Amino acid sequence: FRKFRFVEQDGENKKYRLGLRLLELGNVVQSQLDIRRIAFPYLKKLNRETNETAYLVVLAEKRIVYVDCVESTARLRVRPLFGERVPLHCTSLGKAIMAFLPEYEVERIIKEEGLTRFTSNTITDPGLLKKELELIRERGYAIDNMEHEEGIRCVGASIRNSRGEVFAAISLSGPSQRLSFERIRKIAPLVIQAAREISAKMGYSG
């Protein structure tokens, strides 16, 4: 426990107390609780405006974790993904986050996680991925064009915390026959605006 900073020992009386690592983990949990509470009304609003499935993810150890969603009522729809951990490079949510990480962090993720191919559309070339991230920074949103699952398209935007760090993202996701590129261009501003408002409520003032 001492090795991993879960407890600390007092140098004088030799008694143990909770370590910094537990406090750090507590802050992570609190952050996730805050983002879910704040983001949920926006997920419902996006779902209501489009009848597509709205997702919320957080960045956790070089991957995204799905922490909330509001499901479409359409007969043909994407499945809920609560708790699922997914690489960054193959979803709109992950790429929306990745685009605003420091360059050294992007390099580290590519090196340590790799760029696994999930479909024929998955970006597996680091150079092409970096060009995609540049485009995302320019337009403010990311697209997953059947890069993680065949037949599924998504549009996502990143969320910042009070320190200006990108740590979460939201998206709309649906079958490719319904989410054409023309429709994605129309609904992308809704996702961007929701992400901005959530960021503001998380304390971001940029």
| Topology adopted by domain 40-201 | Beta-Lactamase (3.30.450)
Helix (H, G, I), strand (E, B) or coil at 198: helix
pLDDT of residue 34: 84
Rounded CA separation 93/71 (Å): 16
pLDDT of residue 13: 60
Rounded CA separation 35/77 (Å): 25
Q: Are strands 85-87 and 63-70 parallel, antiparallel or unpaired?
A: antiparallel
pLDDT of residue 7: 46
Give the pLDDT of the chain (206 residues) as one tens digit per residue.
Answer: 444 444 455 556 655 554 444 444 444 444 555 899 999 999 999 999 999 999 999 999 899 999 999 999 888 888 777 788 999 999 999 999 999 999 999 999 999 999 999 999 999 999 999 999 999 999 999 999 999 999 999 999 999 999 999 999 999 999 999 999 999 999 999 999 999 999 999 999 87
pLDDT of residue 18: 45
Burial class (CB in 10 A: 0-12, 13-18, 19+), 180: exposed
Write out the DSSP string of 44-61: HHHHHHH-SEEEEEEEET
Which of 170, 149, 180, 129 lies closest to 41, judged by CA? 170
pLDDT of residue 75: 87
Domain boundaries, the chain: 40-201
Its pTM stands at: 0.83
pLDDT of residue 10: 54
pLDDT of residue 4: 46
